[in-house]
Amino acid sequence: MIKLTKKDWIQCAITVVLLAAVVVFSTLWAVERGSKEDLSFFEKKCSAYALENTHLSKGQIVFIGDSITDYYKLDDYYADLPLATYNRGISGDMSGKLLSRLEVSLFALEPTKISLLIGINDVTHGVSDQALLKNYEAILDQIKQRLPEAEVFCMSILPVNAACVAYKIDYEDATQRIPALNAQIQSFAEARGYEFVNLYPLFADESHYLIESYSTDGLHLSPEGYAVWTNALKPKLA
C-alpha cells in the first residue's frame, strides 16, 4: 500500500478544488454563451426587420407573433389585398420579448391593420398565465397609445396535440390552460375596441387537440392549417 505524506494530501486537495473550479466555470460559461447566442438570434432578426423598414411602405398590414406567424407565407395568401402584408414573426418568441420589440417590428411601420398571435411559447416554457396576460395587456395598451387608429385582430392561442412532445412540451397541461387564456385575451381585446378572432374552435378536435391535418408537428401549421387561418382572417382585412 502506498502511503501518502501530508504534502501529498494537500496537493490532492488542491487538485480536486481546481478541477471543481474548472467544472463550475465551464458550466457557467456554457450557460452564458447559450444566453448570448439566443439573444443574438433575436437581435439579428430585429436588425433585419429594421433594415427592411427603411424601404417598406407605411400604413400597410403587419402580422406579428412567434414561429406560427414567422412560417406564414403571407404572399401566398394575401397578395391580392389592396394593402401589402409584412411578416414580423420570430420563431420562439414569447409575450415578454414581443413586448420589447414593438418599436422596430410594429410601430416603425405605422400599420393600419395588425394581426397579433402570441402566447403558446409562454404556455409551454414555464411562463405563468398571470405573467403572460400581463404582457399581453401591455402589448395592447402600447398599440392603443402609439397606433390609436389601427385595426387590431387578436388571434386566439391555437391548440396543440401529442406530436409536440418532440419539443418536450406538456401538451395536456397546455390543452387545459389555453381555453381560459383565450377567454381573457378576448376580454382584453374587446375592452380596447379590438376584434378577437377565435381560431381555436376551427383548429381543435372533439378532445380539444390540434387537428392532425392542420399541423406538421403538433404545434406548427401545415399549408392546410394556414388556409384555415387565412379563410377566417382575410375577409376582415379586405
Phi, psi of 87 (to 5 degrees): -95, 120
Paired with 166 in beta bridges are none
> How many whole angstroms separate alpha carbon 230 and alpha carbon 219?
17
Report, in this order, helix, strand and coil percent for the chain, each rounded to 5.
Answer: 60, 10, 30
Among 55, 75, 101, give the residue marking a domain's end.
55
Residue-wise pLDDT for 63-85, tens only, equals: 999 999 999 999 999 999 999 99
> How many whole angstroms separate alpha carbon 61 and alpha carbon 178?
27
- For the residues 132-152, what does the mean pLDDT come to? 98
Q: Do 182 and 120 reside in the same domain of the chain?
A: yes
Which band of pLDDT confidence, cut at 50, 70 and 90, is reported for residue 58?
very high
Q: Do 17 and 111 reside in the same domain of the chain?
A: no
The pTM of this model reads 0.83
- pLDDT value for 39: 59
pLDDT over 90 percentage in the chain = 82
- pLDDT value for 41: 85
Which band of pLDDT confidence, cut at 50, 70 and 90, is reported for residue 5?
low
Residue-wise pLDDT for 212-235, tens only, equals: 999 999 999 999 999 999 999 999
Write the CATH number for 179. Answer: 3.40.50.1110
Structural domain for 71, as ranges: 57-237
**Number of structural domains, the chain?**
2
Q: Do 117 and 175 reside in the same domain of the chain?
A: yes
